Structure 1
């Protein structure tokens, strides 16, 4: 079905498949990069690991298995390790055995700081922990060494490794986006938006970077030149992007809003190609995670705990 809006025709899609994994809203949820595994953390504090293909439950833990309530999840790229975080402690699970691997307290420069973001590397050997005082800890599991850097002036809401794990991409509620050396903390490049950063995404080659803040300020940047390439073109005011994903060698971008909308863009022109809404089972439904499946279809995990597959 096509409708006309914002002076252009856009296609409204329906999901190819819907699979509710849990029947409660989620605190957090994450999909593996290859779309074969889903992790859900429900409001009941049940933490579950799922096989996406079969919907089979692989592992499950309850709130009693943790020292404190969890709020954040991170999955290693190879799917062997799962990290969970409460306000002050991190737990790492080995997903091959289902056993707790290690648990330790996190800290920032401010002794009262709490955890605000979390990331695991491809093998799970490097852990990034962002704190609400603007500090970031880089942890090497093999040597259990920790390096603490003060990179932001407000809470860190996103951290990830890039460029063969030699660089860190971090964003904060201060509106800053920093690219910096993993081991020294040296700033390599920096970008800023007027408001807090709501969404950020690298392409596969780390050559394109999408940044959006809580108002209308978004941009796609060439990381080699640090120059803007384009921006998303729309008429609505205050469109808030929660997630973003580059596909097709950065020719296209998929974004998810703070509500139910998923939008497919041409990154060169910034034009919307199509958009659709995920299935909402409760008020305030949004996308927690989205990845491209090997067959070229998009897989989304909603805050209602539902998997949906989409043809692009």
Structure 2
């Protein structure tokens, strides 16, 4: 009997002490010595837009780390609250509390500037969206209102979509439909031209994450409590609910992996998780490189070869092989 328990204890110690395989990025670049307030990666993973703690904006080539554009805080709106880059259109949107600028990347020139306001006099900019054509800019506000600017004719239309801070705005369907999400716990799809609501989804808490797949047919949305859903982007039909029991451990970003049944998420801090979309189960999780407790993931993009890039608030870009992540998960 003693031998039996000794053997069992040895087995438990052997397997219990084995550490999970550490996932190592295939490439790593440090783009900034300053902490970042915001940042974005271009869709092709070649550029990084950085908003530093000094409120300067840098546009860098990731692999060469060469500077493409630098915008000094002195030429930007006071208290920059949101930035958005579109490499294909060659423009950068910069929003202050109540101002919107459109910068031309090639000529490093200010293309347009608009004043932005909500229905509440204390409302401030909280989210930016840009149409694929570049002709429409959606500006979400902290009072739940949204302003839709037509860059071509300089006209603006303002409407109320939510009752609280708008956290996400995205154009789909050739700019005909806008997806918006808010801290009021609602995700809404509505027609950009008429303002008619197509569908509305209610969450128990504020919506923290929204992501669309590559062809805008499915979207992932989660709140800051315990609800994570994959649904049809055009009708709001729920397709999968994730099995995620860590209450109050919410997601900041999400990314559909093209051609694979996976979704990648980032936590409020530095943890990445790979999920199987059909089962809603977590496949694997790991952390990006950090040197301070407050580091967060600012953006994620996927390359064609299943590599994923992440940018964190320390200015570190890392390349991750999703096939390797999946393989390690099967070995644990």
Q: Partners in 1 of 2:193 and 2:120 — Cα distance? A: 21
Instruction: Kindly indicate whether the alpha-carbon contact (under 8 Å) linking 1:72 and 1:84 is maintained by their aligned counterparts in 2.
Output: yes
Aligned length: 306
Stretch moving more, 63-72 or 148-157: 63-72
- The answer on 1:262 being equivalent to 2:275 is no
Instruction: Kindly indicate whether the alpha-carbon contact (under 8 Å) linking 2:213 and 2:258 is maintained by their aligned counterparts in 1.
Output: no
For residue 240 of structure 1, the aligned residue among 219, 235, 250 is 250
Shift of 1:268: 0.5
Q: Partners in 2 of 1:165 and 1:22 — Cα distance? A: 34
Q: Give 2:130's aligned residue.
A: 120
Q: Partners in 2 of 1:77 and 1:95 — Cα distance? A: 8
Tell me which protein shows more helix as a share of its residues. 2
Shift of 1:149: 1.4
Bigger relative contact order, structure 1 or 2, given CA contacts below 8 A and separation 6+?
1
Stretch moving more, 248-257 or 17-26: 248-257
Q: For each residue in 1:173-230, what CA deviation from the matched residue of structure 2 results, as whole angstroms up to 9, or x when unmatched?
A: 1000000001111100110101000001111222212110011111111245533211
Secondary structure of the equivalent of 1:164?
A: coil
Instruction: Kindly indicate whether the alpha-carbon contact (under 8 Å) linking 1:176 and 1:190 is maintained by their aligned counterparts in 2.
Output: yes
Describe the shift of the 1:27–1:295 C-alpha distance in structure 2 as closer, same or farther (beyond 3 A).
same
Q: Give 1:292's aligned residue.
A: 302
Structure 2: segments with no counterpart, 5+ residues: 1-14, 323-332
Secondary structure of the equivalent of 2:25?
A: coil
Shift of 1:250: 6.7
Q: Partners in 1 of 2:155 and 2:245 — Cα distance? A: 48
What are the equivalent positions in structure 2 for 1:169-184 lying under 5 Å apart? 169-184=179-194
Q: Give 2:150's aligned residue.
A: 140
Secondary structure of the equivalent of 2:211?
A: strand
Secondary structure of the equivalent of 2:74?
A: helix
Structure 1: segments with no counterpart, 5+ residues: none
Instruction: Kindly indicate whether the alpha-carbon contact (under 8 Å) linking 1:262 and 1:276 is maintained by their aligned counterparts in 2.
Output: yes
Shift of 1:11: 5.7
TM-score (norm 2): 0.88
Q: For each residue in 1:115-170, what CA deviation from the matched residue of structure 2 results, as whole angstroms up to 9, or x when unmatched?
A: 11112222422111000110111111111121111100111011110111110000
Instruction: Kindly indicate whether the alpha-carbon contact (under 8 Å) linking 2:132 and 2:171 is maintained by their aligned counterparts in 1.
Output: no
Q: Give 2:30's aligned residue.
A: 20
What are the equivalent positions in structure 2 for 1:180-219 lying under 5 Å apart? 180-219=190-229
Instruction: Kindly indicate whether the alpha-carbon contact (under 8 Å) linking 1:75 and 1:120 is maintained by their aligned counterparts in 2.
Output: no
Q: Partners in 1 of 2:315 and 2:122 — Cα distance? A: 32
Instruction: Kindly indicate whether the alpha-carbon contact (under 8 Å) linking 1:204 and 1:249 is maintained by their aligned counterparts in 2.
Output: no
Q: Give 1:58's aligned residue.
A: 68
Tell me which protein shows more strand as a share of its residues. 1
Q: Partners in 2 of 1:26 and 1:310 — Cα distance? A: 21
Q: Give 1:275's aligned residue.
A: 285
Instruction: Kindly indicate whether the alpha-carbon contact (under 8 Å) linking 1:211 and 1:218 is maintained by their aligned counterparts in 2.
Output: yes
Shift of 1:234: 3.0
Q: Give 1:131's aligned residue.
A: 141
- The answer on 1:164 being equivalent to 2:174 is yes
Stretch moving more, 174-183 or 77-86: 77-86
Secondary structure of the equivalent of 1:248?
A: coil
Secondary structure of the equivalent of 2:289?
A: coil
- The answer on 1:153 being equivalent to 2:189 is no
Describe the shift of the 1:181–1:170 C-alpha distance in structure 2 as closer, same or farther (beyond 3 A).
same
Instruction: Kindly indicate whether the alpha-carbon contact (under 8 Å) linking 2:36 and 2:314 is maintained by their aligned counterparts in 1.
Output: yes
Q: Partners in 2 of 1:62 and 1:281 — Cα distance? A: 27
Instruction: Kindly indicate whether the alpha-carbon contact (under 8 Å) linking 1:208 and 1:250 is maintained by their aligned counterparts in 2.
Output: no
